[in-house]
Chains A and B, each alone.
Chain A
Amino acid sequence: MPSHCGEHETAPVRSKLLTSFEMAFLSFKDVLYRRGALTVLNRVSFDLEAGETLVLLGRSGSGKTTALRLINRLLEPESGTILFDGEDIQHVDPILLRRKIGYVIQEIGLLPHWTVGQNIALVPTIAGWEPGKRDERARELLSQVGLPPDEYLRRYPRALSGGQRQRVGVARALAASPALLLFDEPFGALDPVTRREMQLQFLALRDRYQTPSVFVTHDVAEALTLASRIAVLDAGNLETIATPDDFRNVSSPVARSFLDTLTPLDKVH
């Protein structure tokens, strides 16, 4: 099967049939992405099952952020296929695709001229929900991420701490009940205590929503805490995929070098 189906009308139907056997919620199949002479992702394939958190672990420049940005079509692969919920994303309108995918980035990117409530309701707003429903949803999510709505709903992002801002970022990603969540080193810029709180918050929200997630990090402790499975990327190649339990025993040298960054105390237990 050709990796690119172009304008073919039959292609989405065909891919839907294929994936109904495979059950994967999100699939990368031989995805190649190059920037100039640099191969950022070298024919990477992996599957994400429903309800799962897949952590992409890798050093800076390993291609993990690129992999995320291919999923919501901020970037387009040179070849290969990405299937999302049984459909080749090449055949999905990127605007509609993105509204189904929550996105949380390290820099957060809250709109500075919108209140917390308006920021959380961003996708509901652009998708045309009625204002009453948007407000209700913003309040609900704000309390779920641990910020009392009456106190925070009308604040502007500049009046929040870094951790509070990222809580709002997470609430915004969840607002329109997305089918998939993408996290790009969301807690990387936070102090260790706040980061820990946010990781616990992440786990609590995952228990509640069961939304499948792809989570990018370079912190192996974070990966071990949050992942259903950990995929290690190195210079554009997928080195290994393993559950956190198996990950401690994999032979991949890259995975080992990540494990070596854990303090000896962590290694013991």
Chain B
Amino acid sequence: MDRMVVESLLRDIGVLSLEHLELVVIAALIAAILGVGLGVLGTRRPALRRYSLAFANIMQTVPSLALFGFLIPIPLIGGIGQRTAIISLILYALLPILRNTITGIAGVEPSVREAAVAMGMTNGQLLRFVELPLAAPTILAGLRTAVVATIGTATIAAAIGAGGLGVLIFRGLASVDTIEILAGAVPAALMALVADGLMAIAERRLEIQR
């Protein structure tokens, strides 16, 4: 293969990987804030827990490409481009984070919660000193699932013009160019593996601390 072609492909991989990472990081951050926030509120309000879980469940059930499709015609949040992709990635990542936040907080031993409340902790102190620290490994496990899934789903975001490594995959598919497909697929897979590994280490650290 021509050196120029290789160089340009490598440049593309670099630029698109950064774009990909940007999509994932923004979506995961917002999903984490929303998911943990809704999850915490859900442990206080059963109705909110039911509705938010049902909503997140439905969002995750919709195939990702279809979700992009649904969002495009919606005014303000829709349209072609990065914003639509990020919103749909958020909706996609919400369920594991939300579910694990609720499970993690519900899993705090009743006697620990009772003692903390009976000693005079406020609701906020209970959350900060007891529930969030004890639920942290479970919440992190949810975030890990969400991030790994988002890295994969974000490849499809190229279909609606959001960029990322999916661009190479789609271009390769269109021109039946295996090298180009791999140039998108392999970095995306590596990114997912590295993210998974790093977060697994963080999770273990949190668990060892107790």
**Shortest distance in angstroms between A240's beta carbon and chain B's nearest beta carbon?**
28
**Shortest distance in angstroms between A33's beta carbon and chain B's nearest beta carbon?**
17
Q: Is A72 on the interface with B (CB-CB < 8 A)? A: yes
> Is B111 a contact partner of A113 (Cβ separation < 8 A)?
no
> Is B125 a contact partner of A126 (Cβ separation < 8 A)?
yes
Which of A72, A127, A156, A158 contacts B118, CB < 8 Å?
Answer: A72
> Is A110 a contact partner of B112 (Cβ separation < 8 A)?
yes
Encode B87-120 as 1/0 by CB contact (under 8 A) with A: 0000000000000000000000111111111111
> Is A109 a contact partner of B112 (Cβ separation < 8 A)?
yes
Residue of A101, A109, A123 with most chain B CB atoms under a 10 A cut-off:
A109
Cα–Cα distance between A95 and B126 once the two chains are bound (Å):
12
Cα–Cα distance between A241 and B176 once the two chains are bound (Å):
91
A113-B133, A113-B210, A156-B210 are contacts. A108–B115 as well, Cβ < 8 Å? yes
> Is B120 a contact partner of A111 (Cβ separation < 8 A)?
no
**Cβ contacts under 8 Å, B151 to chain A:** none
> Is B111 a contact partner of A105 (Cβ separation < 8 A)?
yes
A105-B114, A126-B125, A158-B210 are contacts. A113–B134 as well, Cβ < 8 Å? yes
**Cβ contacts under 8 Å, B133 to chain A:** 113
A112-B112, A158-B210 are contacts. A74–B134 as well, Cβ < 8 Å? no
> Is B120 a contact partner of A123 (Cβ separation < 8 A)?
yes
Q: Is A43 on the interface with B (CB-CB < 8 A)? A: no
> Is A95 a contact partner of B129 (Cβ separation < 8 A)?
no
> Is B118 a contact partner of A98 (Cβ separation < 8 A)?
yes
Q: Is B127 on the interface with A (CB-CB < 8 A)? A: no
**Shortest distance in angstroms between A211's beta carbon and chain B's nearest beta carbon?**
15
Beta-carbon nearest neighbor of A74 in chain B: B118
**Cβ contacts under 8 Å, A97 to chain B:** 120
Which of A101, A109, A156 contacts B116, CB < 8 Å?
Answer: A109
> Is A109 a contact partner of B210 (Cβ separation < 8 A)?
no
Residue of A95, A156, A172 with most chain B CB atoms under a 10 A cut-off:
A95
**Cβ contacts under 8 Å, A172 to chain B:** 119
**Shortest distance in angstroms between B148's beta carbon and chain A's nearest beta carbon?**
27
Q: Is A122 on the interface with B (CB-CB < 8 A)? A: yes
Cα–Cα distance between A158 and B122 once the two chains are bound (Å):
26
Q: Is the interface of B mostly helix, strand, loop or mixed?
A: helix
Cα–Cα distance between A95 and B113 once the two chains are bound (Å):
14
Which of A107, A113, A122, A156 contacts B119, CB < 8 Å?
Answer: A122
> Is A109 a contact partner of B111 (Cβ separation < 8 A)?
yes
CB-CB contacts below 8 Å: A66-99 with B: 72, 74, 95-99
Q: How many A-B contacts are there with CB distance less than 8 Å?
A: 67
Beta-carbon nearest neighbor of B118 in chain A: A103
**Cβ contacts under 8 Å, A156 to chain B:** 210
Number of interface residues of A (CB under 8 A): 26
Cα–Cα distance between A125 and B128 once the two chains are bound (Å):
13
CB-CB contacts below 8 Å: A94-136 with B: 95-99, 101, 103, 105, 107-113, 122-123, 125-127
A112-B210, A126-B125 are contacts. A98–B119 as well, Cβ < 8 Å? yes
**Cβ contacts under 8 Å, A125 to chain B:** 129
Q: Is B130 on the interface with A (CB-CB < 8 A)? A: yes
**Cβ contacts under 8 Å, B186 to chain A:** none
> Is A95 a contact partner of B116 (Cβ separation < 8 A)?
no
CB-CB contacts below 8 Å: B112-168 with A: 112-122, 125, 129-130, 133-134
**Cβ contacts under 8 Å, A98 to chain B:** 117-120
**Cβ contacts under 8 Å, A110 to chain B:** 112, 115
Cα–Cα distance between A113 and B104 once the two chains are bound (Å):
15
Cα–Cα distance between A172 and B119 once the two chains are bound (Å):
9
Cα–Cα distance between A136 and B121 once the two chains are bound (Å):
21
> Is B119 a contact partner of A111 (Cβ separation < 8 A)?
no
Q: Beyond A74-B117, A108-B115, A109-B114: 17 further Cβ-contacts under 8 Å? A: A96-B120, A105-B111, A105-B114, A107-B114, A109-B113, A109-B116, A111-B134, A112-B109, A112-B210, A113-B210, A125-B129, A126-B119, A126-B120, A126-B121, A127-B120, A156-B210, A169-B115
A-B contact pairs, 19 of them (CB 8 A): A74-B118, A95-B121, A98-B117, A99-B120, A105-B111, A105-B114, A107-B109, A108-B115, A109-B111, A109-B115, A111-B112, A111-B129, A112-B109, A112-B112, A112-B134, A112-B210, A126-B119, A126-B120, A126-B122
Q: Which residues of B contact A (CB under 8 A)?
A: 109-122, 125, 129-130, 133-134, 209-210
